[in-house]
Chains A and B, each alone.
Chain A
Amino acid sequence: MRITCPICGTRDRREFYYQGAAEALHRPDPEAGEDAWDAYLHLRDNPAGRTQDLWYHEAGCGCWLVVDRDTVTHEIYGATLVEARHAD
């Protein structure tokens, strides 16, 4: 499995640390209540198929990436910087 980092180019999976569903980017308001926080921290769609998750380019540029990939085939469609998403 190889991931194309927008900064470093195509790199081996070993350079990246997997964090989990990209849902982690949508942090609820501190006062949002137990249900919202439970959903954010623990509950997952856990899709079999196309998904977006967070990877950290630990042995490369040190950027956080949103990787668009397929959990059934392991195909990787692309990756974008978390930072770029938050800008728009």
Chain B
Amino acid sequence: MRFSGLRVLREGLTGNKGWVPHWRDPEPKSEYDIVIIGGGGHGLATAYYLAREHGLTNIAVLEKGYLGGGNVGRNTTIVRANYFLPGNSEFYSHSLKLWEGLEHELNYNVMHSQRGLINLFHSDGQRDAFARRGNAMINQGDDAILLDREGVREHLPYLNFDSGRFPIHGGLYHPRGGTARHDAVAWGYARGADSRGVDLIQNCEVTGIDTEGGRVTGVQTTRGAIKAKKVGIVVAGRSGQVAAMAGMRLPIESHVLQAFVTEGLKPCIDHVVSFGMGHFYISQSDKGGLVFGGDLDMYASYAQRGNLPLTEHVMEAAMTLMPMIGKAKVRRSWGGIMDMTPDGSPIIDRTGIEGLYIDCGWCYGGFKAVPGSGFAFAHLIAQDRPHDSAARFRLDRFRDGVGLMDEEGTGAQHNLH
């Protein structure tokens, strides 16, 4: 079924009786060529690109809950390509280009909105660092504009420019940055994979990974054993547990990240605004809610909720930056489990076990990576060699210290990102 404006009109006039489910609900087969563990954004995109780019369709995606019920449906939906370091820079640049063609390609409205992202700075030193980052973005072929204080004021007149601690000196403007509808991204990829023959199996938790003589042979699940020639692990916050099923320990610690949304308001925040010094960022959803968040709670956690000190910190930062927000009522807050690596950058690699691949370590920034990661992970699984855009996301970079990608420059150590 193709979606179009005409189709919406026709269905609207005929009682919406013609819509059908966007994907099948198949029983798991006893064997597949490829099994993808995890039906989040990255797993679904991987399956889609395996089918689309490599013509492989004897594939199952195994999801322990429902499709899109993990972080892909819990994040604050920021999509950008403003990374600095080689490795991240080319990867996120590639991912943003995929985003830009995604809706046509999937024939699905993911509400990708390139409303522009502004990262604020508050000192001369920070201005220099942002100018350098902007140059790196431009060198990569992406867009960046360094705004002075008045430049920021033109876009964001409602900010408090003269707060005592962090007066606003300017901002780095990334016009192609923006947001997307997170659920729709998962659904769009799910539909695209399903229509090409991929089996999406929900309520199917992987409980074991079978190997024989150093080769993967399949998985054990709550819906029975499934044989597979190749297996991809893409389970975000649960990466440590699933990798342990294959006897691996990962350079990952799972942390909780919270987010908040207010009641729906008339349009007032047109961009994505990021106030790094206050650990705060915000945008307005198409429904009108102000969607905002801050930093990690900063302790290992698998609870999909955080603690109040961080909530207070985020609210304080919000009030410092834009006092007008004090009038809005917060409706909901929630948390998601982040797979944090020591250097804050991801992993897409082979493992020590033949036929077993892993895609993890997305920390708090893996939503924008969904297309790029799916594309690169599919390439790795299909061809058994990394895609150029993700060749630096090596699993063993911590072991030898070569090629660490520490964007924040704080050191490759757990708890510093």
Contacts and interface: CB of A to CB of B under 8 A. Distances in A.
A48 to B, nearest CB: 4
Interface stretch (B38-46, B147-155, B246-254, B277-285): B246-254
B414 to A, nearest CB: 5
A84 B70 CA distance: 41
Given A38-B399, A41-B398, A21 B253 contact: yes
Contacts of B249: 39, 43-45
Contacts of A29: none
B307 A13 contact: yes
A54 B302 CA distance: 17
B399 A72 contact: no
A12 interface: yes
Contact of B301 (A14, A34, A41, A71): A71
Contacts of A41: 342, 398, 413
B300 interface: yes
Say which size band chain B's interface belongs to: 20 to 34
* Main SS at interface, chain A: mixed
Contacts of B241: 46, 48
Contacts of A20: 253, 300, 414-415
Contacts of A45: 240, 244, 249
Interface string A56-88: 000000000000000111100000000000000
B398 A44 contact: no
A38 B398 contact: yes
Interface string B379-417: 000000000000000000011100000000000111100
B144 to A, nearest CB: 33
A44 B415 contact: no
Contact of B309 (A12, A34, A42): A12
Interface in A6-57: 12-14, 18-21, 34-35, 38-39, 41-49, 51, 53
Given A46-B240, A46-B252, A73-B303, A18 B399 contact: no
A60 B407 CA distance: 32
Contact of A42 (B240, B302, B342): B342
B251 A21 contact: no
B299 interface: yes
A19 B415 CA distance: 6
B302 A71 contact: yes
A48 B256 CA distance: 12
B324 interface: no
B298 interface: yes
Nearest to A43: B249
A50 to B, nearest CB: 11
Contact of A72 (B302, B307, B415): B302
Contacts of B307: 1, 13, 74
B414 A44 contact: yes
Nearest to B313: A14
Interface string B162-189: 0000000000000000000000000000
Interface of B: 238, 240-241, 244, 249-254, 298-303, 307, 309, 342, 398-400, 412-415
6 contacts: A13-B307, A42-B399, A44-B251, A45-B244, A46-B253, A71-B254
Interface of A: 1, 12-14, 18-21, 34-35, 38-39, 41-49, 51, 53, 71-74
